[in-house]
């Protein structure tokens, strides 16, 4: 069961997350690192060390939505 990213670039989760394989269900999914989104963790959210620099939330398309002040 290949992890997302393996069939396109040969690196599981684009090296931006951890691959979780479920042999019973015969599937693999990525648990992306803090700043990354998407099935294969390819989408990077803006921010230096954390998504949106802590001032909002990052959606699945890598767009920050600011917290109201």
What mean pLDDT, rounded, does the chain reach?
A: 92
Q: In the beta sheet, which residues pair with residue 43?
A: 37
Residue 48: the pLDDT is 92
Using one digit for the tens of pLDDT, what is the confidence trace for 50-62? 999 999 999 999 9
Query: Distance between CA atoms of 10 and 14, rounded to whole angstroms?
Result: 8
User: pLDDT tens digits for 10-22?
Assistant: 899 999 999 999 9
Helix (H, G, I), strand (E, B) or coil at 54: helix
Rounded CA-CA distance 2/69 in Å is 44
Q: What is the mean pLDDT of residues 35-57?
A: 94
């Amino acid at each position: 069961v290949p992890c997302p990213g393996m069939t396109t670039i040969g690196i599981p989760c684009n090296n931006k997350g951890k691959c979780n394989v479920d042999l019973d269900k015969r599937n693999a999914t990525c648990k992306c690192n803090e700043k990354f989104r998407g099935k294969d963790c390819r989408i990077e959210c803006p921010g230096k060390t954390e998504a949106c620099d802590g001032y909002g939330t990052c959606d699945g398309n890598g767009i920050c939505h600011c917290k109201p002040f």
